[in-house]
Amino acid sequence: VTFDDWGQHVASHPIYAAAFHALDPPYPDQHPKPTGLTAYSGTCGHEFVDFATMPVELQGHMIKVRYKPTNRVEILKWKEGPFGFDEEYVSDLLFSTNLSFIPVDLKFGPRGALYVCDWYNPIKGHAQYSLRDERRDRHSGRIWRITAKGLPLLEPPKLAGATIPELLELLKRPESFVRAWARRELREHSADDVAASVHAWLPQLEVDDPRLRHHQVEAMWVLQGIDRADVGLVEELLQCEQHLARAAAVEQLRYVHEQMPGVYRRLSQAANDENGIVRMQAAIACSYVGTPEALDVLLQTLNHPADGHLAYAIQCALGSHTLRKHWEHNDRLSIRAILHKLERSGELKEPSPTAEEAMFDQQPDVATVRISCLPERMLFTVRQFAVRPGQPVRLVFTNPDANDHNLVIVQPGAMEEVGMAANAMARDPQNANSDFIPAEKESLILQATPMIGPNRKTQVHVLRFRAPERPGLYPFVCTFPGHWVVMNGVMVVAGDPGEAEAMLAAAQPKMVRAWQLSDFPEAPVTREEETLMRGMQAFVKARCHQCHVLAGHGVNLGPDLTQVRSRFQGRRLLQQMLDPSAEIHPKYQNYQFVLKSGAVVTGIVIQETPGELKVVPNLLSPDRFERVPREQVEEQVVSRISSMPEGLLNVLTEQEILDLLSFVENSDRLPGHLRHHGPQSTHQHK
């Protein structure tokens, strides 16, 4: 969390967090999700560049650290738009392919050097790895000190022991670090002395100083911080020519509205301001005032264009507990319809089509397919869709996820070859911000979107094309390194539904053999990357990911396979994979409950309360469970049969099983691009 030069709040979800500050709705409701706004997780530090110790071309830019999924220290522009601010990626300040590099904070020091705190840990994430995981490094860590070549550091100003006038002069400094510490030091002095000094300092400011309004805003913040707000100063800034100063003054109305004469007139003036950020602050301030008159003022913001962060702020303010009570039981103002319209305005929007694209869309037989990404799951929302040979297709691809994704349609049977080529691109840091579409596999790629998402120019892309004339199963896949193994689907090109069903049925994994441990006299394990990638494919093909998490992939229903690997290796691990009942972990023991009615319920207990047991009969269908009242249980027996179904590996070939063994046994040493760091769906066992 940080603040820009004018006090605009910067965070991560959304990035422009100033739009998020309307008072909360009634408990337990929450503000709506910031759909359509730049928002993602993993950010844990920002700093604006305002020290002369950094290059001129970086002044005003923002430097950010993200502990997932990028392992980067990024340089971004902070760009003002008509309805708020947003970031634009420029380049990396630091980048590492070593996933132990985990930047978790950064700060400028008093002399203008930039310090980056590096957690430096081989694993991260509490959902993916146990807090007691022996690989957690609780002792190491690094601090990176970054300076610009050829630019000298500054002498830090005197803060401790400085007089009040000296501290006020420091508020003119360009460095936010210095100004923040000066305000903090002023709060240690007598509030009356500080207030008197501020009122003596303000008339001495030069009227032709280009930073005059900013100096006045600093004074306003100092007075608010010592509980000596000056409504006269706020009044002057509300009417000044600098829109960001006006916005800062409107923000102060949240706290001084009871002292401000004619507050509704001033709020109305702000709600009708020519600048969208001022109108946004007016909407938020209305939620703090919380009267019927404030609701009327808030609705005036809708007399002007409202989109993006402004629309989101209006939506949150209307839902606040202070204003909702004035309309929810008597919706004479049609607030529900207004909220629905604002909610729709936040949806991810398709780009406007060109004249040629519009003509394509108007064809009578065009097939429109909408595919999105499941947030934090690394899965497409659509696993398959069918079109006719030669049919025009309009594919709308959206990405609300915190990670970037693309969608690439390839020739039948080419998914692995294209995916492996995309993986190879990850070895070159110059490809870090590419679309990961391997040029050498162009002949195998039919259609491809660019990478879209929170770190890219857009979160929506539309593909327009004609389906191949040759019937078949055409995989579509995300080629971000490592994603393609699990983030894929299939475009079925068929003449009719019957042909499509027949092709899909023929493609289902078929039993290869009822494998026994004796079929494997040796169990070789390798760390070769191509083998591990094939092993991950086998992990998905055998449906292991439906119950187990490995390298961040899958669902945490069964045992953590990184822990299984610590107990079993080689042929013993292979035996557990082939015969899951050979040794059963007590936590995942199957139970058989004989009820007083004579019915029998068998499965894993995933939740216990004093009154009942929640039992999942089949982990492959984790959402299907039975509630067993304790009072109805007549007998409880521990089963010697594992909850993992037998024969899951029978759809794999001998080589695929050995590849899977290598993948599981190397679970803690996988290449970085094979790991997924988003939180996974979990079921808690109690």
Residues 451 and 416 in one domain: yes
Higher pLDDT, 429 or 303: 303
Q: Which domain holds residue 322?
A: 164-345
**Same structural domain, 478 and 565:** no
Query: Among the three residues 455, 472, 507, which one is the final residue of a domain in this structure?
Result: 507
φ, ψ dihedrals at 465, nearest 5°? -160, 170
Q: Are residues 477 and 378 part of one domain?
A: yes
151 domain residue, yes or no: no
| Residues 495 and 532 occupy one common structural domain | no
Q: Does the structure show a pLDDT above 70 at 373?
A: yes
Residue 648 lies in a domain: yes
Residue 186 is part of a domain; what is its CATH number?
Answer: 1.25.10.10
Tell me, what's the pLDDT at 174?
96
Domain shared by 193 and 242, yes or no = yes
- Examine the pLDDT at 50 and tell me if it is beyond 90: yes
pTM of this prediction exceeds 0.75: no
Q: How many domains does the chain contain in total?
A: 4
How many residues are there in the chain?
686
Does 73 share its domain with 37?
yes
- Is there a contact between 52 and 151 (Cβ–Cβ < 8 Å)? yes
User: What letter does residue 457 receive in the DSSP assignment?
Assistant: S
What are the two backbone dihedrals, phi and then psi, of residue 270, each rounded to the nearest 5 degrees? Answer: -70, -40
Same domain, 332 and 395: no
- DSSP symbols for 644-660: SPTTGGGGS-HHHHHHH
Pairwise CA distance, residues 116 & 73, whole Å? 8
Distance, in Å, from the CA atom of 659 to the CA atom of 662, rounded to the nearest integer, reads: 5
Residue where the block lists tokens 């009040």: 164
Domain with residue 530: its CATH number is: 1.10.760.10
| Other Cβ atoms within 10 Å of 37 Cβ, number | 22
Nearest 5 degrees, angle CA 344-CA 310-CA 235? 155
Nearest to 383 by CA among 364, 407, 401: 407
Query: Tokens at residue 594, please?
Result: 């004989």
42 Rama sector, left if φ>0, alpha if ψ -120 to 50, beta otherwise = left
Here the tokens at position 635 are 């007998």
Question: Does residue 512 lie within any of the structural domains?
Answer: no
What is the model's pLDDT at position 36?
Answer: 78
Judge whether 304 lies within some domain.
yes
Query: What H or E segment, with its residue span, contains residue 236?
Result: helix 231-238
Last residue of some domain: 475, 507, 539?
507
Burial tier of 606 (Cβ tally within 10 Å: 0-12, 13-18, 19+): middle
Q: Is residue 90, in this structure, part of any structural domain at all?
A: yes
Same domain? 359 vs 481? yes
Give the pLDDT confidence of 264-305 residue by residue, as tens digits.
999 999 999 999 999 999 999 999 999 999 999 999 999 998
Least confident of 94-108, 159-173, 361-375: 94-108
Core vs surface per residue 635-652: b (16+ CB within 10 A) or e: eeeeeeebbbeeebbbbb
Counting Cα atoms < 13 Å in the Cβ hemisphere of 144 gives 19
466 & 404 share domain:
yes
Task: Determine the distance from the C-alpha atom of residue 475 to the mean position of all C-alpha atoms in its chain, rounded to a whole number.
Answer: 26
Q: How far apart are CA 503 and CA 82, in angstroms?
A: 51
Q: Quote the mean pLDDT of the chain.
A: 87
The answer to whether 420 and 500 have CB atoms below 8 angstroms apart is no
Give bridge partners of residue 556 from the DSSP assignment: 682
Q: 455, 486, 507 — which closes off a domain?
A: 507
Q: How many CB atoms lie within 10 A of CB 508?
A: 7
Between 343 and 353, the higher pLDDT residue: 353
Q: Are 453 and 381 in contact (CB under 8 A)?
A: no
- State whether 42 and 124 are in the same domain: yes
Asked, for residue 684, whether it belongs to a domain, the answer is no
Same domain? 71 vs 23: yes
Average pLDDT for 125-132: 70
Residue 602 lies inside a defined structural domain of this protein: no
Query: Which residues, including other chains, have CB under 8 Å from residue 333's CB and lie 6 or more apart?
Result: 295, 299, 327
524 shares its domain with 669: yes
What type of residue sits at position 150?
Answer: G
Residue 595, in any domain of the structure? no
